[in-house]
Amino acid sequence: MPSLPPLVPPHDAPPVRTTTPPLGAISPAPAASLPDSMWLGGDQEIALPLALHAGRPYVSGLLNGHPAVFILDTSAVTTLVDPAIIGNRMARRIVAVQFGELHLPHVAVVAAPVQAFSETFLGSTADAVIGRDLLEAGPLTLDYPHRTLILYRSGAPSPTPPAGATTLALRVLDGRPAVAASLDGQAPSWFALATGAGVGVRLEPGSDIASRLARERWIPYAEETPYGGAMTGRLVRARSMSLGGLLFYQPLVALVGAQESPASGLAGALGSGLLSRLIVTLNETQGSATFVAPPGATSAQLFDPSGLVLAMRRGAIVVNRIVPGSGAAEAHLRPGDEILSINGLAPATLDFARELLDGSPGTKVRVEFRRFGMAHSATFALRVLI
């Protein structure tokens, strides 16, 4: 076959001076990122039922689309999830969380033994602990007296404080919401709001008021945490605590042995022992915290008069610690004793057992318990311990 002649441009074709560069790899369109929080409906607020166990607020929601129970701890900087749900890995995981219409699509969480902690020491199993991630999604109200959590859409008009409410400036220190409060008439200091803490007031060491209160009558203090271990120190009574226009009489104050946040500027924390009597609204966007105190909420509260600190282990209610000088100590109950009945009633939950041991000083309590497989009984009187 004869060869073809070479291609020759027409005589009137313009000379080629530039060439088009070859096409590079085509980049895919960037994926749309989800916001930190989304409302799946048109409501401006949602109300969710709240349960209280050992004073801590529990709320039900969804975790990665599955039902889960959360402890709401406003001082929790990072959301904690039990390893049974996310695996026992130290690295952070990203999960989706939902409460009613509020959807949080990417929450960074770490593994912690939340289920064991909550079942053993609070008496009801929870799967996770959430705080900062929920506070950043918008304002919320913890209505303890009516057992309700109200979540407000971010950017919606703030709820109008009811008559008699106390509104204070709210700051975020060390990742925790904080308000200014005064103990025993001292200059106001910043206290974190810690709904997951059991004590009324927790005071960091080193301050003048902590040094003075350390000389008061005290009993040992210990409070387990969902991270494992316990915070320890002394439990005392202050004369008063003022929170804006609210004056709390003889609040219980835990003087902890080690400073939790050395450089945070926080003097301590206000826990569920104080906050669970109130209606609390937190709005970090507007920098405000509102407190409503029902009648009697600021009166002095009686510390557990039995001296029995209980826990739930393998389905049995057992003595975890005993307060020295209590009626239970004088009746020779010991840590590890299994509680069988209190005044003839067999409690199935820690909440009910604690209720049976709550009474006026001088009231006689009969406790049946098992020690080393043998049943025993003891009767003692409730008394003021602190």
Domains and CATH numbers, the chain: 38-133 (2.40.70.10), 166-292 (2.40.70.10), 308-381 (2.30.42.10)
Who contacts 271 (Cβ-Cβ below 8 Å, separation ≥6)? 55, 194, 195, 196, 197, 198, 199, 200, 201, 202
State residue 36's pLDDT score. 81
* Alpha-carbon gap, residue 203 to 189, rounded angstroms: 11
Are 385 and 303 within 8 A, CB to CB? yes
CA angle 384, 269, 306 (to 5 degrees): 20
Strands 252-256, 201-203: pairing kind: parallel
Separation of CA 378 from chain center: 36
* Alpha-carbon gap, residue 353 to 344, rounded angstroms: 12
State residue 258's pLDDT score. 67
Q: How high is the mean pLDDT in each 10-residue block of the chain (386 residues)?
A: 55 52 50 74 93 97 97 97 83 90 95 95 97 96 97 82 91 96 94 96 86 91 89 94 96 83 80 96 95 95 94 95 95 96 96 94 96 95 94
State residue 33's pLDDT score. 64
Order of strands, sheet of 338-342, starting from the edge strand that comes earlier in the sequence: 308-313, 316-322, 338-342, 364-371, 374-381
State residue 28's pLDDT score. 54
Strand, helix or coil at 306? coil
Which region holds residue 17: left if phi is over 0, alpha if psi is between -120 and 50, else beta?
alpha
State residue 161's pLDDT score. 82
pLDDT digits (tens, 9 = 90+) for 5-20: 555 555 555 554 545 5
Are 194 and 181 within 8 A, CB to CB? no
Beta-strand ranges (E) seen in 343-385 are 364-371, 374-381
Question: Against a cut of 0.85, is the pTM above it?
Answer: yes
State residue 23's pLDDT score. 47
Strand partners, 111: 81
